[in-house]
Structures are given as C-alpha cells and as structure tokens.
Amino acid sequence: MLPYGIIGTAEFIVSKDFNSPLAVNLAHQRTGQSVNVAGNSYNLYQQQLPGAAGTNLREVYYLTNINSGSYVSMNFGLEKTWDFGLYANFNYTRSQARDYGLIGGSQAQSLWPDTAIDDRNNPETGFSRFDTPNRIVAQLAYDTRTISANNLTRFSLVYVGGDQGRYSYTYSGNFGDGSGVRLMYVPQNQAEAQLIDITDGDGNVVRSAAQQWNDLDAFISQDPYLSGKRGEITERNGATLPWLHRFDFRVSQDVNLFRNQHKLQLTFDVLNVGNLLNNEWGVSKSPVQTNPMVYQGADGAGNAQFTVANQITSGAESFRQNVNINNTWSAQFGVRYMFN
C-alpha cells in the first residue's frame, strides 16, 4: 500500500528455454564461395543433399533441439479507488524475448529459421518476432446511481498502447539460401552500398546508382532503426513498429428484476473510440519495405552488387497506415441476464 490509498504492484519474470525444437536442413550447404559486402563476408549456399547429386532432394529436415532463448519482463502497476465511485489503474510492462528465429507452424520447415546473418542451420540468437518491448494498459471507471438508486450505471474507458511488434531488415535477392533471408548491412556511404545502375531491356539506364543512393540514404536517415545502425549489420527483428494507442469506451446499466434476484445488464461499447474522433487515431502501421536493397550477384572481384527496391524513392517513409476494418471504430450493444 502506497500513500494516498494507492495500491502498487511490481513483478519481475525471468525464463530460459531448454531443448527448444529446431529444424536443420541437411541439404543446406555452403558452396565454399562468398561475396564481399563493405568488408563483410557473406557466404553463398546451395540446396543440395551431399552424396545425392542429380536428385531433387533440397529439403531434408533433421529435427533437433537447441538451448537458446530467454524472456525477461518487469511490470509495474498502480490502482486507486475513490469513495465517490471513481476507480483508476495503470500498468506498464517492459519485456525482452530472444530466440534463434522461431517461425512457428505445423510442419518441420516452419522450424527452420528464415532470417540469419549467415547460416540458417546455425542461427544467431536475436529478438523474437513475438517480442513486445513496451505495453501499457490503463482503465478509468466511474460508478453512479444517479439514474436509479437501485441500479448501477458504470462508465469506463480502457487504454491499451505499446509497440505493435518487431521486424527485420534483410536483403532481397538470393544468396543461395532463399530470398529475404540474409540480414542487411547498413551502408555509411555510396561506396559501401555497392550499387549498380538499373537498366531496361535495351541497356538504357532508367535509375542510376547515384539516384538510387540518394533515395536509399534519405530512407536510412529518416528510419528510427536504420539511422542508428550505419556501418553495422542489422539484427533479426531489431526494428520495432510504431506505438499504437487504442481507447475503448463502455457504458453499462444494471436493471434489477424480481426482488433483486435477477438482473439485466445492458451495455454499449465504442471500440477504438479515438478513431471516431479523428480518423488518424488508433490506426496501426506496417513497414513500407523491409528489403530496401536487392542482391544482384557479384562482380569479377567477388564484390556483391545491389540495386535499390522500387518502393524506396525520393521522400519514402518507413511506415504506412493499414487500411482495413480492424483499424476503424465500431460500436456494439449487449444484453446479459444474471440470476442467483
């Protein structure tokens, strides 16, 4: 119990994964070659089962276990009830979940990590795609019997806010292990970007390397994650989606029946009520492009060559609003019958 009648809570959770399932693709093999990306060696792979040349055995999964993964969270909460019917609570959770790239699914292939710096069969520990670093849940409620002395009326407002999730910045193009698998090196300058001109079928330049760099450089600078990773390789699920703020409003009215032994409760909810007031509020966002650079192969010296994705143009931003029914406000009525 804290001063002024406030109840405070604190929780701390630590967990460690043991014997987590992992699928290893036995046909996933290094070719023995690599390409240079700004001084970083990116190994090349092929999908061919050793000793089975001439066959189509490219997905041969060996199920094993790995002792990698952890979860840490801290939660702090406050709540208070006032004599005149007002109640409020506030809870904040800070957490971090790390694993080896768990995808999840019903097949062995879904246990084969799809994002890595180098080897999908030997993945690095990184942020889990299920990780939600920050989350706030708060409620404000007011109970009154102004309408009827025998029937309770409650007004409540619930807020849920926090990071929408995590995602990775990877290369498009195939290093022999699948497109969009390899985590991206964030160039500091045009030389490190190793860009080549984009040409049409007749060999005419439609987007020069310099134009592509200007657009990519601006995109990196405005991105809250990439701008801090120049000169480094991105982390799996290192980038976070913007915070989403949602408010839900409810009015409930109790109606006592038959000597208070039976009761009807009438409810009216407005979900995502902020969106009712402003169509920019309560709308989630998703990345415009998580593969800003496209791997086009290597030059004669073994240096990787890239182009910039079509979505990365002048003025491109990291996120766009999701336009669907889940991001609009809605209202609903409810009736509940209760009896002793």
CA gap 41, 170 in Å, rounded: 15
The model's pTM is: 0.89
Residue 339 has pLDDT above 90, yes or no: no
pLDDT at 109: 80
Say what percent of the chain tops pLDDT 70.
Answer: 100
Question: Does residue 237 register a pLDDT over 90?
Answer: yes
Lowest-confidence segment of 94-103, 169-178, 266-275, 289-298 by average pLDDT: 94-103
For 212-227, how does the pLDDT look when each residue is reduced to its tens digit (9 = 90+)?
A: 999 999 999 999 999 9
In the prediction, which pLDDT does 103 show?
Answer: 74
pLDDT confidence bin for 106, thresholds 50/70/90: confident
From the CA atom positions of the chain, what is the Rg in Å?
A: 27
Rounded Cα gap, residues 34 and 303, in angstroms: 9
Average pLDDT over all residues of the chain: 93
Q: Does residue 114 carry a pLDDT above 90?
A: no
Q: Calculate mean pLDDT across residues 102-125.
A: 85
- The more confidently predicted of residues 279 and 147 is 279
pLDDT tens-digit series, residues 16-26: 999 888 889 99
Strand 151-163, strand 134-148: pairing: antiparallel
What is the distance between the alpha carbons of residues 264 and 54, in angstroms, rounded to a whole number? 73
* Percentage of the chain modeled with pLDDT above 90: 76
pLDDT, residue 71, reads: 94
How confident is the model over 240-261, as a mean pLDDT? Answer: 91
| Residue 248: per-residue pLDDT | 97
Over the stretch 42-70, which tens digit does the pLDDT of each residue have? 999 998 888 777 778 888 999 988 888 89
Q: For 124, phi and psi rounded to 5 degrees?
A: -80, 150
Name, in order, each residue with C-beta under 8 angstroms of 179's C-beta and a sequence gap of 6 or more: 172, 173
Q: If you average pLDDT over residues 239-263, what whole number do you get? A: 91
Phi, psi for residue 27 in degrees, rounded to 5: -85, -5
> 152-208, pLDDT tens digit by residue?
999 999 999 999 999 999 999 999 988 889 999 999 999 999 999 999 988 899 999
Residue 110: which pLDDT band, with cuts at 50, 70 and 90?
confident
- Single out the residue of 52, 113, 138, 335 nearest to residue 237, CA to CA: 113
H/E/C letters for each residue in the chain? Answer: CEHHHEEEEEEEEEEECCCEEEEEECCEEEEEEEEEECCEEEEEEEECCCCCCCCCCCCCEEEEEECCCEEEEEEEEEEEECCCCEEEEEEEEEEEEEECCCCCCCCHHHHCCCCECCCCCCCCCEECCCCCCEEEEEEEEEEEEEEECCEEEEEEEEEEEEECCEECCECECECCCCECCEECECCCCHHHHCECCEECCCCCEEECHHHHHHHHHHHHHHCCCHHHCCCCECCCCCEECCEEEEEEEEEEEEEEECCCCEEEEEEEEEECHHHHHCCCCCCCEEECCCCCEEEEEECCCCEEEEEECCCCCCCCCCEEECCCHHHCCEEEEEEEEEEC
Q: Record the tokens describing residue 196, joined without a space.
A: 């080549």
What pLDDT sits at residue 102? 74
| Domain locations along the chain | 3-16+68-129+165-241+285-321
Q: Give me the mean pLDDT over the 223-244 stretch.
A: 96
Supply the pLDDT for residue 173: 92
Q: Are 338 and 265 in contact (CB under 8 A)?
A: yes
Structure confidence at residue 261 (pLDDT)? 78
pLDDT score at 336 = 93
